Amino acid sequence: MNSSESSSVNANIDPANLPSHIAIIMDGNGRWAKKRILNRIEGHKKGSDAVRLIVRTCREIGISILTLYAFSTENWQRPKTEVTALMSLLKNFLKSEQKEMLDNNIRLNVIGQIEKLPEDVQQVLHKTMTLTKENNGLMLNLALSYGGRAEIVRMVREIATKTKKGEIDPDLITPELVSDFLYTKGMPDPDLLIRTSGEMRISNFLLWQIAYTEIFVTETLWPDFSKQEFLQILKHYQRRERRFGKV
């Protein structure tokens, strides 16, 4: 596809019907590397280029929130060398993107067990979140040491503690109250969830928040995911009728 064709894809997107919140399960870095007889870490490196591209595209078209599943609670069980490489990639990404985030009104946010990340990664994350906290363009929401079940357990514990202290009336526990005790407090639920590399699973991602989310699974491996395919998925999304359980 040449650049005029790709801008025509862009032009076919209705700016009035964009998803506010897009969530992505970025899968397939390992397979991308394996296909090329490379180390898995090379796949993650190429994967961080795709992150840069999709963040840029979301900002250009005016998406409000992009939530990326960058590291799950289960990913701690990968070989130590891979975990270390992922952490160092993340740190380098944040350092190299700080200027772009500031220049382009992007705000960084983290969901997940930030306290479990290595000290140096936590420091860069906190610094970037502080530097970008007044930005009100795209929110780049990184899910790090994130697991949907762990998030739900944390919410139940907090609500139970407050209930025990008499601060919450059990009869007044509503879906809205539950949402306020999740990492995504104050954010709209994702309108669109994209998963790359073909697996038909949710993998413990945003379990509560995706109740009515439109799901798209593509066979493309994350490092190969392009702006063109992303825009095509947005076009498909705009053709879907969202009924939220109604007729």
Q: At what angle do helices 40-61 and 80-103 cross, to 10 degrees?
A: 20
Instruction: Single out the residue of 23, 26, 117, 143 in contact with ligand FPP (rule: CB under 6 A).
Output: 26
Provide the 3-class DSSP secondary structure of residue 13: coil
| Among the residue ranges 41-49, 112-120, 156-164, 184-192, the one whose residues contact ligand FPP (CB under 6 A) | 41-49
Instruction: Single out the residue of 9, 38, 87, 89 in contact with ligand FPP (rule: CB under 6 A).
Output: 89
As measured in angstroms, the least distance from the Cβ of 89 to ligand FPP is 5
Kind and range of the H or E run holding 142: strand 139-146
Q: Closest CB to ligand FPP among 89 and 114?
A: 89
Provide the 3-class DSSP secondary structure of residue 111: strand
10, 12, 17, 75: the catalytic one is 75
Phi, psi of 67 (to 5 degrees): -105, 120
Q: Is 147 in the site for ligand FPP (CB under 6 A)?
A: no
Structure tokens at 217: 């699974």
Residue with tokens 């919140």: 21
Q: Is 213 in the site for ligand FPP (CB under 6 A)?
A: no
The site map against ligand FPP for 45-74 (x = CB under 6 A) is --xx--x----------------x-x----
Residue type for position 152: I
Are 21 and 215 within 8 A, CB to CB?
A: no
Catalytic site includes residue 27: yes
Structure tokens at 49: 């280029």
Residue type for position 170: P
As measured in angstroms, the least distance from the Cβ of 28 to ligand FPP is 4
As measured in angstroms, the least distance from the Cβ of 49 to ligand FPP is 9
Q: Closest CB to ligand FPP among 142 and 192?
A: 142
C-alpha closest to that of 192 among 230, 136, 135: 230
Q: Is 190 in the site for ligand FPP (CB under 6 A)?
A: no
As measured in angstroms, the least distance from the Cβ of 110 to ligand FPP is 11
Q: Closest CB to ligand FPP among 21 and 44?
A: 44
Provide the 3-class DSSP secondary structure of residue 190: coil
Catalytic site includes residue 103: no
CA–CA dist 21, 188 (Å, integer): 7
Instruction: Single out the residue of 23, 58, 93, 233 in contact with ligand FPP (rule: CB under 6 A).
Output: 93
H helix runs in 132-220, sequence order: 148-164, 175-180
Q: Closest CB to ligand FPP among 9 and 129?
A: 129
CA–CA dist 148, 163 (Å, integer): 22
The catalytic residues are 27, 75
Interface with ligand FPP by CB under 6 A: which residues? Answer: 26-31, 44, 47-48, 51, 68, 70, 75, 89-90, 93, 142, 197, 222
